[in-house]
Chains A and B, each alone.
Chain A
Amino acid sequence: MSLGALSSVWLGITTLTVLFIYMAVGSAGVLVPRRAEGGLAMEHLMVRQLPAFELTEYEWFHTNTFIGLCALLCVNLTVTTLRRIPFNLLKLGPWMIHSGVIVLALGSVVYFSQKVEGDTYILKRSVSVGLEGSAGSTFPALPGNTAIIESASGPYRVTVSSIDPEWPILSGDDQGKTAYAVTLRIEPPGGEAFFRQMLDGFPQYTEDLVFVPGMNPPMQRVKKLEEYGGAALVDESLSAELALMPQRTFAIKDTAALHWRAVPTDAPAHGAWNQLPIDRLPRYNDYASDAASLWPASGVNDALGRTLSVDAGSIDGVPIRIEGYLEYAALESRMADGGEVLDPTLTVDITDDPARSRERPLRAFHEDESTTAAGLVGFSWVEDEFALEQVRAMPEGGPRVRFVAGPGVGDAGLVLMSRIESEDGAMSVVERSLAMGEPVALGGNFVMTATSLVERPVVQERALIIPPRRRDRDVERQRLLSMVRAVVGTGADATRVWLAYHQYPFPSGDEAALGLGLYQPTRLTLPDGRDVEVMFSRQTRELPDPVVLNDFELTTHVGGFTGSVASIRDWTSHVVFGAGDEAASASIATNRPAEHGGLWFFQAYWDAPREGSAGLNYTGLGVTNREGVYTMLAGSCLTVLGLIYAFYVKPMIIRRRTAAALAAHEAKRSESTGEAPPTQAAAPEVEQPEEVPA
């Protein structure tokens, strides 16, 4: 391309127009006509989410196409400015604007090429419990979490019974203050359970409570009871204290990874995960290569029509590949064929709401499980015609509608018998063959459908694609119910398994009480016989230093927190980065981030009160870097200044120059001819104010 073409204003205009279209399509999608009842209807299509693209917003704006268009625009701007716009006082505006845009573009290259954006949670406290002479346990202070402490006399069971984030201290020197209070329920071996209350920051107030029947209130402080002789604790050999809980990693937005760890032969898996990043994993469409891994549902055929093969690295040399992805699905256990014992099971869906499936299995050989709908619908298996005749009797008191299957019904496969009562009270049985999936109206808007018949059932776990109308938009947006189909190993030894998405790769099930998603690692046996746990989650990174949450503060408007965000004024996380002499404390609130070790931390979410928890047990922080921001800002400011100069300063310069030229011309004429000043029409040509400057 010649310099002339590169300095064409039309090239710039064309590039901008293409960029406009590209950005609009990527951000808002397009409307496409589709056939519908009564003519054409417009359907909204998010182009970047189509199987051919599978791009997030961020990825759509970082494709080679987009980068190429931006680069072309910058080249066009540079060449045009250098070749076509003279560098003088009047043209300073376009020079500043164009230079600003190029500086902004350079800053953007630095910024977006190094951008990392993620989030992490920081627990407020952990509970450390121990017994003299035995190993203790430390676990997150979250309601319901439990630890077992072994002792010579047997196990102690310690459970976080309740947490009050704002416990008022009613007596002593600290009267009027509030503290984060954790109450443990302790079940000693062979003894009565008691409660231990610990106030964060006030270890001197730790005390035990016991249940005393007949007293008001029944929970009594031990030190007030004579039998304990004024001691504050029931069992002083059991130590319990609250400690800070450092967070060392953060999870990166819109990424995927498999996390794995070895499972010891004699203990449950615990500890750090090894990470296998998965690049280019789809997000918006379903992919499945194995029909036997899915339960029948709408969308299955679409998924089976798409193949996927993404390398996910290896576990100690055993390769892992991703061959399936479901955007919104659940693992479900159901009966499937493949068992050894004849145990005919018919799955029937009875519902008055097509959007809600209420399937239940009817097992012909199990009297208690062979009927449903209060005994009105039943299922029988007939081996021969004699058995069929017996079923045809349809006695009163039995089901009014009966599905019948088995060799006795012959080619019909499945027969539906209904007992009908005529107006004169006479009973008759109506019988017809029924196709699987054929709906049967039951009256009162209820519809019954036989969905599957299995002769020799075995319980299988497969993935079920949730229909779009039953999906929660927020869950869908965050991909919280997505899953991948991992193939571990190769050839005949390969193991295939669906892995559900985890928002964070929690180190243990204790973190499940956070309410931030699942903790369901999948146990696999590698071809060499070793057991590993695998989890599908996001990629994580180490923080520059461990971060602890000293305190979390909820500021509200008048009336306190009502459950609505409108009553909240702000959230503040008081954190400490690092430890020892290097420790740095910071308060992070909305619009008030903190920087540490090159990363910025900002308030992202919080532990809101919910059923079973008063909340405020952790904070959620966004973690990101911002390289190149000041370069971008400089470019933007230069552009703004250029616009002001071009639009408002340049005209003033022209005005002054024109006035000066007119005055000079007039003076010259007067001097040379001694005539009257020239008319306006005869004014000399001065530089015409051109169109706007760029």
Chain B
Amino acid sequence: MKRVVPYAIGVLVAFGLAVLISSMLARSSKPIDDGFAAQLDLSPLDRAAVYADGRLKSYDSFARDALSTIAGRNRIAALPPDVAYLDLMLRPQAHAAEPTVFVKKKVVRSQIVQAAERDGLASREELDVFLETGMIRDEVLIGPETATLLRRLSSDLLRGSKAFNQIMASVQLQQPGALGSRLRLVPPPPRVTEAGGKMPWGSVADIEAGLAGEPLRRAWAELSATWRVEDAEGANAALAGFVELLRTEVNPGAYPSPTRLAFESWYFKLAHLTWVWLVYLFAVALLLMAVAYKWEGARGVGLGLFWGGFALHTLALAWRWWVSGRWPNSNMFEAVTTSVWLAAAVAIVLEFVSRRGPMRNLFALGASAACMCAMMAAHYIPELDPGIKNMMPILHDLWLYIHTNVIIASYALIAMAAALSGLYIVRRAFMGSRADYARAGGAMLFTGGASVAAQGRSTNLGQVLDGATMVLIELSFLLLWAGIVMGAIWADHSWGRPWGWDPKEVFALNTFIVYIVLIHVRLKARDKGLWTAVLSIVGAGVMLFNWIVINFVISGLHSYA
């Protein structure tokens, strides 16, 4: 019983952190001031569906997508996205003097600041805030110098037009008309859906034109009117009635499950649980202590935290899976979060197998480090878009689930191996230890052959780290090669050729080559441990280059992966 306590503490701390962060996020989804917005109750909208590009989303999810186009990760007037969307549409004048246009590229922000200074339409303080946040008033953009700059950007197809288009998307989408026509809330009539026909859902503009029926038109008019005069109580009542009519009035059979919509809303309100990186961070700290100082208490709590983090991570994946209706591995956000989940699952198995051996804790440590980095990236890097969208047609294939999962699992194992290799190098560099290496490589240690052969020999941390690194490298080596072969099979029946020297393919092969070199250098080199560690980190670098630089900088056939 006593032995279980540290583990239980770890799990409890993990879930305690989860409760704490969730409650903080729930609070942050409410407006911070005491005015009209704070008195609004938009919870009925959590069960309202919005049609967007072939998918029925929850209103909250839709509003977050739209607001990310308008304001990036900023908030407009400190309002949560669901309130901000309706407020921009119904009370645009309330935001006329606020910075509502988002400029993503920092270089462009600097250029705009220089032009705006010459135009004299913005104060120094305002421009300083703009440089920091990217948010600026649209009036500043129509100053002659700034407008000229924007025109220049638009005509520079090589370097400027992308930035210009992003700014224009922000400007155009926040217009009340654009917001209204994108907010498609009304299902098509039964005569269309029952005959197997397809047509886009009706928008707010259609409701206002009476195309969705008189009851909905009146309900929306009531909501608009109360919202415009900042009558929160009236708006809440009108909103509840409006949402009820949306679900029941036009075509109840075509309306998606309110439960699914509510869970989609909450998935995003809870920041897709990517904050679980914090749990993994604590796990890393404690497991490092356990490895370095052989402190049993830290080991137990660290493993408990790791298991707790993994449980939350699993919940995040399962939640997204259910909400999106597909296993989450079809965009960068999903690939990053799922890859490390797979690695963590493998680590749990390896930890179980090695629970009495010298390698215990190391796999959990490596997995925690990889999960921490990946979930932190998913939480903070805007390029990893968490929005749920339909998959590209080419991805509707069984091989997506086989090839992609095998490849991303190998990538995550590579990252885990690199984490342990880093520890090995740190130990060698700063602790003056010998050129240790595991005399039996990789899985040999697991299957027992080596342990029998190595009986009577003591192991030190260097040997253990090297051995654990080899366990992970062998597994990732096999998975990477199998994944490349599976990708070739998929490419063969999808694009008509198994191998096309696409940059993504080339760098996957290059990653594999690094590990071929590693394995053969290990055969011949004297300092096997050091070479293994160095090449393991090089391999992880090539893998990350493939995942980041090739995906975001060098275009290719795998740009969606």
Contacts and interface: CB of A to CB of B under 8 A. Distances in A.
Nearest to B151: A353
A658 B157 contact: no
Given A445-B145, A651-B447, A654-B444, A590 B394 contact: yes
A591 B493 contact: yes
Question: Of A355, A565, A688, which is in contact with the most chain B CB atoms at under 10 Å from its CB?
Answer: A355
Contacts of A365: none
A686 interface: yes
B494 A27 contact: no
A652 interface: yes
Contact of B509 (A10, A23, A681): A23
Interface in B521-559: 521-524, 528, 545, 549-550, 554
B452 A353 contact: no
B91 to A, nearest CB: 28
A602 B155 contact: no
Contacts of B523: 9, 691-692, 694
A558 B549 contact: no
Interface residues of B, number: 86
Interface stretch (A130-138, A313-321, A371-379, A632-640): A632-640
A653 B519 CA distance: 21
Nearest to B256: A558
Interface string B145-156: 100100110011
Contacts of B455: 680-681, 683
Contact of A445 (B148, B448, B493): B148
B517 A636 contact: no
Interface string A629-655: 100110011011001100110011111
Contact of A570 (B198, B393, B475): B393
A557 B54 contact: yes
A526 interface: no
A640 B485 CA distance: 9
A79 B148 CA distance: 68
B496 A558 contact: no
Contacts of B498: 111, 626, 629, 632
Interface residues of A, number: 87
B177 interface: no
Contacts of A469: 155-160
Contacts of B441: 689-692
By secondary structure, the B interface counts as helix
B501 A61 contact: yes
Interface string A341-378: 00000000000111110000000000000000000000
A9 B520 contact: yes
B561 interface: no
A648 B447 contact: yes
Interface string B497-517: 111111100110110011011
Contact of B501 (A58, A637, A647, A662): A58
A330 to B, nearest CB: 14
Given A12-B520, A472-B157, A591-B493, A23 B510 contact: yes
Nearest to A58: B501
A566 B148 contact: no
Nearest to B503: A27
B440 interface: yes
A220 B485 CA distance: 62
A568 B501 contact: no
Contact of B510 (A24, A468, A602): A24
Contacts of A354: 152
Contacts of B151: 352-353, 356
Interface of A: 9-10, 12-13, 16-17, 19-20, 23-24, 26-28, 57-58, 60-61, 108, 111, 115, 117, 352-356, 444-445, 468-473, 556-560, 562, 564-571, 590-593, 600, 602, 622-624, 626, 629, 632-633, 636-637, 639-640, 643-644, 647-648, 651-655, 658-659, 662, 680-681, 683, 686, 688-692, 694
Given A590-B394, A637-B485, A692-B519, 20 more contacts: A10-B524, A13-B517, A16-B520, A28-B549, A356-B151, A470-B155, A470-B157, A470-B158, A562-B53, A567-B53, A567-B390, A569-B393, A602-B493, A602-B494, A629-B498, A639-B481, A643-B481, A686-B453, A688-B440, A689-B444
17 contacts: A24-B510, A27-B501, A28-B554, A57-B500, A115-B497, A117-B496, A353-B148, A355-B160, A558-B54, A566-B53, A569-B393, A626-B492, A636-B485, A643-B477, A643-B478, A651-B446, A651-B447
